[in-house]
Amino acid sequence: MASLSSLASYSPACSFNSRPNIITMGRRRTSGFRCSLPSSTLPMSAQFDLKTYWTTLIKEINHKLDEAIPVQYPHQIYEAMRYSVLADGAKRAPPVMCVAACELFGGSRQAAFPTACALEMVHAASLIHDDLPCMDDDPSRRGLPSNHTVFGVDMAILAGDALFPLGFRHIVSHTPTDLVPETRLLKVIAEIARAVGSTGMAAGQFIDLEGGPNAVDFVQEKKFGEMGECSAVCGGLLAGATDEEIQRLRMYGRSVGVLYQVISDVLEAKLESSGKSDKDEGKKKKGKSYVGVYGVEKAISVAEDLRAQAKKALDGLEKYGERVVPLYSFVDYAADRGFSIDH
């Protein structure tokens, strides 16, 4: 797997006149891409096996998602829903982050799983709609034909429309009320609604289509940061985290979400430069990324700041001991891609 230090050797000409907003928010510029874990957690981090943790959760989440979306009448809508939600290659990052955040504050997996599944339904719905010809016009997703390519545009729209409310319903109907008070569930539902709505992911897609001032910052934060923020925050809300802890999860999740996408764009640029990219020219030219606007070298600098910012957000949570290590480890995975998720 490529490391960020090796990616830095690729640096086409670029122009960069201002720092992206998400990077300069409340912190000084960092000089390196070093791990900022508190020293007390470094030994635990070295022993923690993120791949095993992640793949174990994927198996449990996949089983629960399969149960949550049985095929019934009208069959074709459910088949289209299942096609995207249960697709091979899905890393389940939103639900895994939700579970990890819930466990950080002493919550159980059984309390988190319904919301974790709902987050994956919402995530899948957003991807179905993003891929549509009138949006990003992407014929493939995770190496497979996009939903509309297989089922048609009309059925893809309906599948996405059905997945959004199914997620909310799943939270209400499957979360054990003896583990999570209803007041917390209301906050979780409100958080997901905020993240996907007109001030969240939908706003990011609008600016991605229409453009505007500081478009790249806005698009990256809304299209990619919102899902990470929402996932981490929902886990904390389920477990009863304090308001100050929720704010830390917001900054953490948003930073990790954008970091993951920035590095994905850098890796794609490397493939393009070597002639190995499988993306068509139309897809390459569409969308707003730090790589596309500022170049690979500056995008890597952005990623350095995001990595430090995500870990800084966790600095006040070291009192929870080794339960915080999975969240630290997600940051390093987003930056370094040290292993592949096989399931």
* Domain region containing 292: 51-336
pLDDT at 313 over 70: yes
Looking at mean pLDDT, say which of 9-23, 199-213, 233-247, 262-276 comes out highest: 233-247
11 located within any domain = no
130 located within any domain = yes
Q: Would you call the peptide bond into 326 cis, given omega within 30 degrees of 0 as the criterion?
A: no
17 located within any domain = no
Number of domains making up the chain: 1
**What is the C-alpha to C-alpha distance for residues 201 and 229, in angstroms, rounded to an integer?**
11
Q: Tokens 């539902």, residue?
A: 189
CA-to-CA dists, residue 36 to 77, 289, 312, 319, angstroms = 46, 26, 7, 16
258 located within any domain = yes
Backbone angles phi, psi at 340, to 5 degrees: -105, 150
37 located within any domain = no
Rounded to the nearest integer, the mean pLDDT of the chain is 85
- Nearest Cα residue to 343 out of 62, 69, 1, 96: 62
**What is the C-alpha to C-alpha distance for residues 80 and 155, in angstroms, rounded to an integer?**
7
- Nearest Cα residue to 227 out of 254, 263, 189, 187: 254
Q: What is the pLDDT of residue 342?
A: 67
Residues 293, 17 contacting (CB under 8 angstroms)? no
**What is the C-alpha to C-alpha distance for residues 201 and 204, in angstroms, rounded to an integer?**
5
- Nearest Cα residue to 3 out of 261, 263, 289: 263
Helical residues (DSSP H) of the chain, grouped into ranges: 4-7, 21-24, 42-47, 50-68, 75-85, 93-104, 109-130, 147-151, 153-174, 182-196, 201-210, 215-219, 226-239, 243-273, 281-285, 290-294, 296-313, 325-336
pLDDT in tens, 247-256: 999 999 999 9
Partners of residue 144 on adjacent β-strands:
141
CATH number at residue 206: 1.10.600.10
- Nearest Cα residue to 65 out of 104, 122, 111, 106: 122
Q: What is the pLDDT of residue 53?
A: 96
16 located within any domain = no
Band of pLDDT at residue 28, cut at 50, 70 and 90: very low
Backbone angles phi, psi at 44, to 5 degrees: -65, -40
38 located within any domain = no
**What is the C-alpha to C-alpha distance for residues 233 and 188, in angstroms, rounded to an integer?**
8
152 located within any domain = yes
pLDDT at 43 over 70: no
Q: What is the DSSP letter of 225?
A: I
Q: What is the mean pLDDT of residues 55-71?
A: 97
